[in-house]
């Protein structure tokens, strides 16, 4: 899992062998890179109202930084931030 400051919550991705979607991981816990992009949709505080689609968080995580893509529905859309610590 990693903490997403745009969603103010954790996102879980799976790496290695196993069932379900899997991401590549560079093995560096201090500056992780996951491939391909991470796309999360959810009914969150920033989700649309009156039949609008659910909230979207779409990002690349590269060298310990989160690049939020422009299709994100939260305020960090289009920005790149350091991956925050997450206990």
pLDDT tens readout for residues 52-71: 668 899 999 999 999 999 99
pLDDT tens readout for residues 1-48: 999 999 999 999 999 999 999 999 999 999 999 999 999 988 765 566
The tokens of 49 are what? 């109202």
Do 68 and 58 meet the contact criterion of CB atoms below 8 Å apart?
yes
Q: Rounded to an integer, what distance in angstroms lies between the CA atom of residue 28 and that of residue 86? A: 15
């Amino acid at each position: 899992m990693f903490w997403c400051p745009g969603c103010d919550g954790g996102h879980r991705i799976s790496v290695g062998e196993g069932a379900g979607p899997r991401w590549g991981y560079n093995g560096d816990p201090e500056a992780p890179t996951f491939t391909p992009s991470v796309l999360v949709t959810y009914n969150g505080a920033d989700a649309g109202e009156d039949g609008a689609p659910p909230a979207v968080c779409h990002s690349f995580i590269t060298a310990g930084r989160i690049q939020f893509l422009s299709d994100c529905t939260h305020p960090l859309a289009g920005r790149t931030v350091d991956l925050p610590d997450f206990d």
